[in-house]
């Protein structure tokens, strides 16, 4: 679960939320992504990692987590989203995987500040569970959700 945010954050800062996941070389790909984000952006928080079965696809279960980036402005938020999409496409293009079965990196923009843009119901439920601590009233969702091994960032 998320800890308390730093008291140093000013009200004018813009926090952007992203759900990231992988079901192919899960730990390796998520570790690389977290290092990339930590070096290029103002990474504020990283949630615990949750493991979910693939819903519509065959393949290994997903590791999913939520990251929070402090963008300081809407313009920076757009640039962050653009750079994260480029990173996602680069990883997908350089690793051999079976389309629609193995996903090296999946990055979903959840929203900025109080405005959330969930791409699907899973993203909304996951956000409510991790960020808001809301118990999700969906047996199928919670039954497939088990806390997985936490990936620790290497010393940077």
So where are the chain's domains? 14-132+143-151
The answer as to CATH 3.30.70.560 being correct for domain 14-132+143-151 is: yes
Decide if 31 contacts 20 (C-beta within 8 A).
Answer: no
pLDDT reported for residue 8: 46
What pLDDT does 156 receive?
45
139 phi/psi in degrees, rounded to 5: -60, -45
- Upper half-sphere CA count for residue 137 (Cβ side, 13 Å): 0
What is the arithmetic mean of pLDDT over 102-113? 83
Q: pLDDT value at position 140?
A: 65
pLDDT value at 115 more than 60: yes
Res. 38: pLDDT tops 80: yes
Q: Contact 51/86 with Cβ under 8 angstroms?
A: no
pLDDT higher at 100 or 50: 50
Task: Taking residues 65-80, report their average pLDDT.
Answer: 81
Does pLDDT of 19 surpass 60? Answer: yes
CB atoms within 10 A of CB 110: 21
103, 24 in Cβ contact below 8 A?
Answer: yes
Q: Model's pTM, two decimal places?
A: 0.78
Average confidence (pLDDT) over 108-118: 76
Quote the pLDDT of residue 124. Answer: 81
């Amino acid at each position: 679960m998320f800890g308390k945010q730093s008291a140093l954050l000013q009200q004018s800062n813009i926090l952007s939320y992203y759900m990231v996941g992988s079901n192919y070389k899960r730990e390796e790909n998520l570790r690389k992504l977290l290092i990339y984000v930590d070096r290029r952006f103002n990474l504020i928080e990283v949630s615990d990692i949750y493991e979910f079965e693939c819903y519509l696809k065959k393949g290994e279960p997903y590791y999913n987590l939520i990251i929070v980036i402090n963008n300081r402005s809407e313009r920076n938020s757009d640039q962050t989203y653009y750079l994260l999409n480029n990173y996602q496409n680069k990883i997908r293009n350089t690793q051999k995987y079976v389309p629609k079965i193995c996903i090296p990196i999946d990055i979903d923009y959840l929203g900025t500040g109080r405005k959330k843009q969930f791409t699907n119901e899973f993203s909304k439920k996951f956000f409510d569970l991790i960020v808001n601590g809301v118990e999700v009233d969906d047996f199928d969702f919670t039954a497939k959700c088990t806390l997985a091994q936490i990936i620790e960032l290497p010393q940077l």
